[in-house]
Amino acid sequence: MHIHILGICGTFMAGIAILAREQGHQVTGSDQNVYPPMSDLLVSNGIDIYQGYDTAQFDTKPDQVVIGNAMSRGNPAVEYVLSNNLNYVCGPQWLSENILQGRWVAALSGTHGKTTTTAMLTWILEYAGKQPGFLIGGVPGNFDESARLGSGEFFVVEADEYDSAFFDKRSKFVHYRPRTLVINNLEYDHADIFPDLAAIQTQFHHLVRTVPENGLILTPPAVESIEQVLEQGCWTKRSTAEALDKRNSGNDADWQAKPTVADGSRFEVWHLGKKAAEVSWDQCGVHNLNNGLMAIASAHHMGVGIEQAAEALGEFKGVKRRMELLDTIANTYVYDDFAHHPTAIQTTLEGLRARVGGEQIIAVIEPRSNTMKRDVHQKSLKNAFSAADEVVWHRVPAMEWDVQDLINGNSTPMQGSESIDRIIQILASQVKKSDGQPHHIVIMSNGGFDGIHKKLIKTLKEAT
């Protein structure tokens, strides 16, 4: 079968393409922005890519068109598909019908930590010899690809609440029908498609309705937004998991992660009140303890021993763009991080602070997401940077709020610029003034940030 994918260079749709190719289909696709590394990955898998949405791409007469959720009415390729009555589906539906049927599906959902937790669980199952299939919305360090069929019973999927397509406004995860479901957390996000938190909770309720009676739903304990979802109806056994810190030292979760060092790079795993294992790994921060604990608990439901799961996490190599250390120049460390929501920004910076102590931390923020551009999270952002010594904002176009309002009067020193070059000058100047003292520069964006990462590293190297 010849499958043609519109919007193929997005992480999810590229995963669909790789899975379809692995099944033996002829796969082609198109996207407006075709560039490495995603284009190289697809081409290396024998997938031809068209630049743009010219209708000439349909001259090959595909048997089926898979349409990504970035596509909308008015797009020439979309209009051609509709006008010519071509066979089309959305990506999540294709995944459900062609890959997930008959598999034990583990779905990792929540506002934050989906990609990392999915990568952790996948690696635990791989380490345990389960040969899982997977589709991860990022590039996991323990694998050469973000998606594969796998030969085992299990399939692990990052369960995104974003909508499926212009013709299917249900969340992607409603298609997946998991037996093991993780809801890491639940906050308001995706302001471009959800009017409020209640709208997101409705989609999670629909997801909960698909989990079988003999499945398992894993959540943190006593999170109001999640409890409200489950109160609408839950027909599945539930288990709770949470890392202990100064804010919740007395909780009674079924699964607990108890850090034995300040940064969380070593912790104990407790299950039903008994110590079950210890983890020593390269990750840090309470958010990663929660991610790791959810992965261990999920793997336990899927038949992996707790000690073996803990051993696997000791060899977990992280995910690209999740506090990924890009380079070290003298005593300056440059990181790339995907955080673009106040909670994710705060927990990421707190984790780094616990690891580096009193060393200087500079957060560089591009408010690129639709939600960050809107006047939604400004109150939360005021307290999101307390672990940083300084914050530099990129003033992006089409903002509905003024970054200067946040800068003024904030207890953490902040400044902003519309120019990438100016931001690099600010950062280089701060490093130069430090007289060799350690600096940790964390670049936070869910996009490419105009290539600031490589430009900054080049500038810092030229200055040494």
Q: Is 102-313 the same fold as 2-92?
A: no
Q: What is the CATH number of domain 2-92?
A: 3.40.50.720
CATH class for the region spanning 102-313 = alpha beta
For residue 37, cis peptide bond before it (omega within 30 degrees of 0): yes
Residue 123's SS3 state is helix
Count of helices and strands (H, E) across the chain: 15, 23
pLDDT at 38: 72
Task: Say what the pTM is.
Answer: 0.88
pLDDT band at 380 (very low <50, low <70, confident <90, very high): low
Q: Which long-range contacts (CB under 8 A, 24 or more apart) does 198-206 make?
A: 200/161, 201/225, 201/228, 201/229, 201/232, 203/161, 203/170, 203/171, 203/173, 203/174, 204/109, 204/161, 204/171, 204/229, 205/229, 205/232, 205/233, 206/170, 206/171, 206/174
Reported as a single tens digit per residue, the pLDDT across 28-70 is 999 998 766 677 788 888 999 999 999 999 999 999 999 999 9
Reported as a single tens digit per residue, the pLDDT across 237-287 is 999 999 987 666 557 899 999 999 988 999 999 999 999 999 999 998 888
Burial classification of residue 400, based on how many CB atoms lie within 10 Å of its CB (0-12 exposed, 13-18 middle, 19 or more buried): exposed
Say how many residues make up the chain: 464
> How far is C-alpha 77 from the chain's CA centre?
28
Domain boundaries along the sequence of the chain: 2-92, 102-313, 324-463
pLDDT at 90: 98
Max mean pLDDT range (127-141, 354-368, 375-389): 127-141
Separation of alpha carbons 443 and 455, rounded Å: 12
Where does 216-341 have alpha helices with state H? 224-231, 286-301, 306-313
Give the pLDDT mean for 99-111: 97
pLDDT at 267: 96
Q: Which fold has domain 324-463?
A: Protein-Tyrosine Phosphatase; Chain A (3.90.190)
Maximum alpha-carbon separation in the chain: 66
pLDDT at 376: 62
pLDDT band at 314 (very low <50, low <70, confident <90, very high): very high
Reported as a single tens digit per residue, the pLDDT across 321-373 is 788 888 899 889 999 988 767 878 888 898 889 888 989 999 998 887 766 76
Q: Is 167 left (phi over 0), alpha (psi -120 to 50) or beta?
A: alpha
Query: What share of the chain has pLDDT > 90, as a percent?
Result: 61
- Average pLDDT of the residues of the chain: 90
Residue 164's SS3 state is strand
pLDDT at 371: 66
- Of 25-34, 315-324, 452-461, least confident by mean pLDDT is 315-324
Contacts of 408 (CB under 8 A, 6+ apart): none
